[in-house]
Amino acid sequence: DQQVKQNSPSLSVQEGRISILNCDYTNSMFDYFLWYKKYPAEGPTFLISISSIKDKNEDGRFTVFLNKSAKHLSLHIVPSQPGDSAVYFCAASLQGAQKLVFGQGTRLTINP
């Protein structure tokens, strides 16, 4: 049973517009959530995180929203840039930011 799900395998967005990536989870005990970005042939790169005691965290163009009642989080990228084209993984943890459980990933393509 997959505890973290990213139901959209791919997303295409025009440059300059907002990209919204979604993630759902089933385990209400998760206490920390993270987003990683991955380019081909490279390891995942940490992007942004949020603790379960918060509902929003912002870092530059990236904002993560957490809705605990819906067990849903989302990553907003504004404005989207061509360099944002990558696979984005949502991850959740029961122990701070470690022992991560990952979603399947969403491939984001930013079109010029």
Phi, psi of 68 (to 5 degrees): -70, -35
Q: Looking at beta carbons only, is 8 or 104 nearer to other proteins?
A: 104
Kindly tell me which residue out of 4, 21, 75, 110 binds other proteins, with binding defined by CB under 8 A: 4
Site string for other proteins, 46-65 (x = CB under 8 A): x--x----------------
Exposed / middle / buried, residue 96 (Cβ in 10 Å: 0-12, 13-18, 19+): exposed
Q: Looking at beta carbons only, is 28 or 45 nearer to other proteins?
A: 45
The reply on whether position 1 binds other proteins by CB under 8 A is: no
The reply on whether position 42 binds other proteins by CB under 8 A is: yes
Instruction: Compute how many residues bind other proteins; rule: CB under 8 A.
Output: 25
For the chain, the first-to-last Cα distance in angstroms comes to 38
Sign of the C-alpha dihedral computed for residues 40, 46, 47 and 49 taken in this order: positive
Give a three-class secondary structure readout of 45-80.
Answer: EEEEEEECCCCEEEECCEEEEEECCCCEEEEEECCC
Q: Looking at beta carbons only, is 37 or 77 nearer to other proteins?
A: 37
Kindly tell me which residue out of 66, 75, 100, 110 binds other proteins, with binding defined by CB under 8 A: 100
The reply on whether position 103 binds other proteins by CB under 8 A is: yes
